[in-house]
């Protein structure tokens, strides 16, 4: 028997150090670690101890005999990895034990943003004796895209919030939610109260197609749609045209697949998830039956992971369809992608059947319509134009970071300028003293949730290095004074206890309807739920 890592793997790597025979790959530092779709277990080496399963934060590890049917493929997917990457060395990675220099006193760090990168940075820092951490979040709720980006039907991926929650609950971590840096407190003020500030604000903008008609109503970004169905307070009032029968998604990554799945499934499928009520209600009136997902190039270049393609293939009540001539480059292959696409190419869609159609080699040319989107035109490799009628066109071509006032920004990459997470001047490489970054604003919008762990560890090492070298001046004020200051400016500050009350309220509302939680969407409702109840 063996254990098997499956589609939900977030590359967090918590499983690696606990494996007694070191049969999980790739490991941080391996050449393919930063690009791998997931981690894999070598069935020939695994001794079935189960330690990795207990450690996995998203429950992505199963025993071979207990593999759910729709994850059967993963037995072969795990084994196949080791055919080309045989294990050559099995000593465990050295445990990293960070500590502060004995002569430097305590270290205080502010983290701006409570998404995965911010939480991993808080985890690494708060484990060190003598370090205190303040986490700032613009919304009343933490966890960033784990709450407002991960698809509602990927419940296991959201389990990582439990692990992040235990980090935020550590006694040396303070939480300042519903507090916007730049509005309620400035970056210089944070530096007056901490040795260092880590910016982990993510990527809050989208890449653009740069074609005519892109700004017509009905052409939306995946970021907006995803935030809407996930109950992000900024998008609660958005409306999308869900009049079918067709919607087009431009893009070929996992987010494009999330959007396609959510739009194509019957609304009843979402009833058992934490999707926002307003979205379930709107989707129940949707008449979309076919979602066409388009890629500029052939399937061999697609950015989605095999796991997500497999998930799409197994989506209940939705047929996965492709055109034989467009997937010919991979459909003869016996690997998992080839087999799925060959199956999709052999599938014929019945009239009106719910479906997701994968199309390739379609380069967007223009979005057309009189006052609103009516169709989208693509150029094919033979230079002919194909126009698909659809009132909803979703751009899913990637997120992009936004400049941060006062910090050097690289317009080309949409990231802060930095060296190993230390924000610096692009001309001189000189550090902006005390300012660091992690996550998408540091490396661009790519990678899995767990990719942020390695990323944040690098930033933490830079902070400790600078602190040890005496480059971080002692702050003039402490955390208590900062909290007093912020409470005068933002009486609706949500702290740890407030967030726990929101969490309990949402879970209790969800329980009544058999859901993991029912999200509160409006800021005033979230703030009200954060207050202690009268007894």
Closer residue to ligand SF4 (CB): 86 or 406? 86
Q: How far apart are CA 257 and CA 295, in angstroms?
A: 12
Closer residue to ligand SF4 (CB): 63 or 387? 63
Q: How far is the CB of 45 from ligand SF4 (least distance, A)?
A: 7
Contact in structure between 244 and 286 (CB atoms under 8 Å): yes
Q: Which of 225, 312, 262, 255 is nearest to 446 (CA)?
A: 255
Closer residue to ligand SF4 (CB): 20 or 426? 20
Instruction: Phi first, then psi: give them for residue 266, nearest 5 degrees.
Output: -65, 145
Q: Which of 8, 120, 90, 136 is nearest to 483 (CA)?
A: 136
Q: Is 133 helix (H, G, I), strand (E, B) or coil?
A: strand
Q: Is 3 in the site for ligand SF4 (CB under 6 A)?
A: yes
Q: How far is the CB of 336 from ligand SF4 (least distance, A)?
A: 21
Distances (CA, A) of 99 to 102, 138, 463: 9, 30, 12
Q: How far is the CB of 457 from ligand SF4 (least distance, A)?
A: 21
User: Tokens 């003598």 identify what position?
Assistant: 130
Distances (CA, A) of 226 to 143, 256, 292: 15, 10, 17
Q: How far apart are CA 184 and CA 134, in angstroms?
A: 15
Q: Is 372 in the site for ligand SF4 (CB under 6 A)?
A: no
Q: How far is the CB of 61 from ligand SF4 (least distance, A)?
A: 7
Q: Is 19 in the site for ligand SF4 (CB under 6 A)?
A: yes
Q: What is the CA radius of gyration of the chain?
A: 24
Q: How far apart are CA 330 and CA 298, in angstroms?
A: 9
Q: How far is the CB of 384 from ligand SF4 (least distance, A)?
A: 51
Closer residue to ligand SF4 (CB): 20 or 212? 20
Contact in structure between 245 and 288 (CB atoms under 8 Å): yes
Closer residue to ligand SF4 (CB): 30 or 48? 48
Q: How far is CA 311 from the centre of its chain?
A: 17
Q: How far is the CB of 22 from ligand SF4 (least distance, A)?
A: 7
Considering only 14-22, 85-93, 105-113, 126-134, which stretch makes contact with ligand SF4 by CB under 6 A? 14-22
Phi/psi-derived region of residue 66, left when phi > 0, alpha when psi is between -120 and 50, beta in every other case = alpha
Q: How far is the CB of 7 from ligand SF4 (least distance, A)?
A: 17
Closer residue to ligand SF4 (CB): 16 or 312? 16
Q: Which two tokens stand for residue 84?
A: 């080309």
Contact in structure between 326 and 312 (CB atoms under 8 Å): no
Prior bond to 323 cis, omega within 30? Answer: no
Site residues (CB under 6 A) for ligand SF4, limited to 46-85: 46-52
Closer residue to ligand SF4 (CB): 53 or 259? 53
Q: Is 264 in the site for ligand SF4 (CB under 6 A)?
A: no
Q: How many residues bind ligand SF4 (CB under 6 A)?
A: 15
User: Tokens 């977030």 identify what position?
Assistant: 10
If one counts every other C-beta atom within 10 angstroms of the C-beta of residue 497, the result is 11
Site residues (CB under 6 A) for ligand SF4, limited to 498-527: none
Q: Is 419 in the site for ligand SF4 (CB under 6 A)?
A: no
Closer residue to ligand SF4 (CB): 20 or 188? 20
Site residues (CB under 6 A) for ligand SF4, limited to 113-132: none
Q: Angle at CA 103, nearest 5°, toward 100 and 107?
A: 45
Q: Is 249 helix (H, G, I), strand (E, B) or coil?
A: strand
Among 4, 9, 10, 24, which residue sits at the site for ligand SF4 (rule: CB under 6 A)? 24
Considering only 40-48, 106-114, 226-234, 363-371, which stretch makes contact with ligand SF4 by CB under 6 A? 40-48
If one counts every other C-beta atom within 10 angstroms of the C-beta of residue 336, the result is 18
Closer residue to ligand SF4 (CB): 21 or 419? 21
Q: How far is the CB of 146 from ligand SF4 (least distance, A)?
A: 24
Q: How far is the CB of 296 from ligand SF4 (least distance, A)?
A: 38
If one counts every other C-beta atom within 10 angstroms of the C-beta of residue 531, the result is 13
Q: How far is the CB of 38 from ligand SF4 (least distance, A)?
A: 14
Closer residue to ligand SF4 (CB): 64 or 503? 64
Q: Is 41 in the site for ligand SF4 (CB under 6 A)?
A: yes
Considering only 20-28, 67-75, 203-211, 385-393, which stretch makes contact with ligand SF4 by CB under 6 A? 20-28
Closer residue to ligand SF4 (CB): 95 or 371? 95
- Let me know if 96 is exposed, middle or buried by CB neighbors in 10 A (0-12, 13-18, 19+): exposed
Q: How far is the CB of 80 from ligand SF4 (least distance, A)?
A: 16
Closer residue to ligand SF4 (CB): 48 or 325? 48
Q: Is 16 in the site for ligand SF4 (CB under 6 A)?
A: no
- Let me know if 385 is exposed, middle or buried by CB neighbors in 10 A (0-12, 13-18, 19+): exposed
Among 4, 9, 23, 179, which residue sits at the site for ligand SF4 (rule: CB under 6 A)? 23
Strands 24-25 and 40-41 come out as antiparallel
Contact in structure between 39 and 26 (CB atoms under 8 Å): yes
Q: How far is the CB of 380 from ligand SF4 (least distance, A)?
A: 46
Considering only 39-47, 92-100, 135-143, 321-329, which stretch makes contact with ligand SF4 by CB under 6 A? 39-47
Q: How far is the CB of 449 from ligand SF4 (least distance, A)?
A: 20
Closer residue to ligand SF4 (CB): 17 or 165? 17
Q: How far apart are CA 486 and CA 330, in angstroms?
A: 57
**Contact set with ligand SF4 (CB under 6 A):** 3, 18-21, 23-24, 41, 46-52
């Amino acid at each position: 028997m063996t254990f098997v890592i499956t589609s939900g793997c977030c590359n967090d790597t918590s499983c690696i150090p606990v494996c007694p025979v070191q049969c999980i790959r790739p490991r941080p530092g391996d050449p393919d670690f930063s690009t791998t779709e997931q981690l894999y277990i070598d069935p020939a080496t695994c001794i079935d101890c189960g330690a990795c399963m207990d450690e996995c934060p998203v429950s992505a590890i199963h025993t071979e005999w207990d593999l759910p049917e729709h994850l059967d493929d993963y037995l072969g997917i795990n084994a196949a990895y080791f055919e080309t990457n045989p294990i050559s060395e099995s000593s465990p990675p050295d445990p990293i034990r960070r500590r502060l220099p004995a002569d430097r006193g305590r270290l205080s760090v502010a983290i701006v943003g409570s998404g995965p990168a911010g939480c991993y940075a808080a985890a690494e820092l708060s484990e060190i004796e003598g370090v205190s951490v303040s986490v700032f979040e613009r919304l009343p709720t933490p966890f960033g895209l784990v709450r407002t980006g991960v698809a509602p039907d990927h419940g296991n991926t959201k389990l990582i919030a439990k692990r992040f929650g235990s980090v935020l609950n550590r006694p040396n971590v303070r939480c300042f939610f519903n507090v916007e840096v730049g509005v309620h407190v400035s970056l210089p003020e944070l530096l007056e109260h901490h040795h260092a500030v880590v910016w982990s604000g993510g990527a809050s903008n989208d890449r653009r197609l740069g074609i005519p008609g892109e700004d017509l109503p009905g052409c939306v970004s995946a970021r907006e749609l995803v935030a809407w169905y996930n109950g992000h307070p900024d998008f609660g009032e958005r409306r999308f045209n869900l009049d079918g029968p067709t919607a087009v998604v431009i893009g070929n990554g996992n987010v494009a697949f999330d959007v396609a799945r959510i739009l194509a499934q019957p609304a009843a499928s979402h009833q058992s998830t934490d999707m926002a009520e307003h979205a379930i209600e709107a989707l129940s009136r949707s008449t979309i039956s076919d979602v066409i997902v388009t890629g500029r190039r052939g399937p061999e270049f697609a950015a989605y992971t095999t796991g997500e393609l497999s998930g799409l293939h197994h989506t209940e009540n939705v047929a996965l369809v492709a055109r034989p001539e467009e997937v010919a480059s991979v459909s003869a292959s016996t690997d998992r992608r080839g087999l799925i696409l060959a199956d999709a190419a052999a599938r014929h869609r019945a009239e009106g059947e719910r479906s997701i159609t994968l199309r390739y080699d379609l380069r967007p040319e223009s979005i057309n319509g009189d006052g609103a989107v009516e169709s989208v035109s693509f150029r094919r490799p033979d230079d002919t134009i194909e126009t698909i009628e659809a009132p909803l066109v979703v751009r899913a071509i990637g997120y992009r970071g936004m400049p941060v006032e006062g910090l050097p920004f690289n317009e080309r990459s949409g990231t802060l300028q930095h060296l190993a997470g230390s924000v610096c001047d692009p001309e001189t490489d000189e550090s902006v003293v005390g300012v660091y970054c992690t996550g998408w604003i540091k490396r661009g919008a790519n990678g899995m949730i767990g990719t942020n762990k390695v990323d944040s560890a690098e930033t933490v090492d830079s902070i400790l290095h600078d602190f040890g070298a005496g480059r971080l001046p002692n702050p003039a004020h402490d955390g208590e004074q900062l909290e007093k200051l912020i409470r005068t400016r933002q009486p609706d500050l949500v702290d740890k206890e407030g967030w726990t009350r929101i969490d309990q309220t949402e879970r209790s509302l969800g329980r009544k309807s058999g859901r993991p939680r029912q999200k509160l969407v409006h800021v005033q409702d979230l703030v009200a739920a954060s207050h202690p109840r009268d007894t």
